Amino acid sequence: MYVAGKWREGKAVIKVFNPYDGSVVDTVPSADKEDVELAIQSAQRGAEIFQEMPYFRRSELIEKTADLLEQRLEEVAVTVTRENGKTINESRQELRRSVMTLRCAAEESQRIYGETLPLSAINVPNIENKFGFFFRVPCGVVLAITPFNAPVIQACHKAASALAAGNSIILKPASDTPLSTLKLVEIFLDAGLPEESINCLTGSGSELGEWLCTDKRIRAITFTGSYDVGNRICRLAGLKKLTMELGGNCPVIVMPDAEAEQVANALVPAGYGLAGQACISVQRVFVHSSLYEDVLNLSTQRLSAFILGDPMDEKTTMGPLIRESAAIRVENTINQAGVSGARILCGGKRENNFITPAIVADVKPDMKIYRQELFGPAVGFLPFETFDEAVAGANDTPYGLSAGIFTNDINTAMQFIRKVKTGNIMVNSPSRWRVDHMPSGGLKDSGLGKEGPRYAIEELTEGRTAIFHLRDRSFF
């Protein structure tokens, strides 16, 4: 791990397993409280250095990191696949997006604007002699806790935005996938990042999180992961800036004027890519009864072309889930739906960490696949008759991360945008669509704040207001 300007071993180690065959990929240190203290002290010194760095220099360092990551893309992609289990093609796609995210953050680091304040808009005594402006400053030390399912892109979103804003960063990667994040830290350092502006601690999230989140020297926390962990972080953190990108249970509505083939072609990659392990994966599809069986049949046909197997094989289209316990949970959820009356049209069979991709028809609101975030390769389908019925179903969840609708009627689309309570809204696309410079984040139990470099920089800076009390009249 990288702590206080040095690559360090720990007093103990944890193993990193390959989800495909269970082999040990490598080991990483298990950080303790002493390591945490060293990291925070180092990050404080790093924050002092980085906040004094000119915007253009921050931009150059992040841009150089993007160049080096692009050069080493294949090496890092192989690491992602070995520790995460996603296919090599999915890992390459993640790394290409990571490069774009870094370049976007490099640009946005030059656009941290303030504003002058029209103080004389209000008639108070002597206001003509006042001049004010508002500007943004770094928070200081930022803690970033990243998930297993997109280890590099999430670390890039958080680290690049924090550094672009002039902060230092402490990275805590998921214990399942620390190796690719450590490679990213190495690339940041090779690009010339000041040694103490970045730290990376590996080990138990529950232990390290308790020590890190409660420490008042950490001024902002950005987290991507489950609602339960995010809720715990918020309770521990106290008065800090918080960005929480939490779970989802994403709905898609298919109106009667949609084209069934277009819908099926879009739903399959959106529901089953990354083995369904994405917070914006499609989970519930409400299809008008006139198209219901057509969409089910076409989606089943598309899934038949999926190839499960070694994620390093170029022909594989779906790899394993991150661990066997996750696969067992998904299998049980699918089986529970079947026992409760749903039709399992295909898939749902488990072998070790693999689940064959499943289509579950005639889902009911009391089933787990409807109520809980699945995070696996299965999608539930429900027929509906009226638009209001479908909207009520889409909103029937504590989550509000992303949603989609298929329709050719602009009025229906606008009503969907207005009525469905979610942070990201897609028209003629499923929920799982994102470009990395857009504002992205959820409502309700899906989180707080936005990602996307421009918007993350706002989350990871603090505003100051300055007022000049002049002897003479201000020109403004």
Residue positions annotated with a catalytic role: 245, 279
Whether residue 324 contacts residue 350, with contact meaning beta carbons closer than 8 Å, is answered with no
Reduce the secondary structure of 453-473 to three states and give it as a string: HHHHHHHCEEEEEEEEECCCC
Phi, psi of 199 (to 5 degrees): -135, 150
Residue 187 is inside which H or E element, if any? helix 179-190
Count CB-CB contacts under 10 A for residue 339.
9
Pair of tokens at residue 50: 């980085």
Farthest CA pair distance, the chain = 80
Q: How is 194-221 classified by DSSP, letter by letter?
A: -GGGEEE--S-HHHHHHHHHT-TTEEEE
Distance CA 66, CA 105 (A): 10
| Of 309, 287, 311, nearest in space to 298 by CA | 287
Distance CA 389, CA 304 (A): 31
| Of 450, 445, 460, nearest in space to 400 by CA | 445
**Dihedral sign for Cα atoms in the order 262, 263, 265, 266:** positive
154's CB contacts (< 8 A; 6+ apart) are: 146, 147, 224
SS3 90: helix
Distance CA 424, CA 437 (A): 13
Whose structure tokens read 């893309």? Answer: 73
Distance CA 421, CA 301 (A): 32
Whether residue 365 contacts residue 387, with contact meaning beta carbons closer than 8 Å, is answered with no
| Of 191, 39, 219, nearest in space to 106 by CA | 191
| Of 260, 284, 289, 241, nearest in space to 422 by CA | 284
Pair of tokens at residue 154: 């999430």
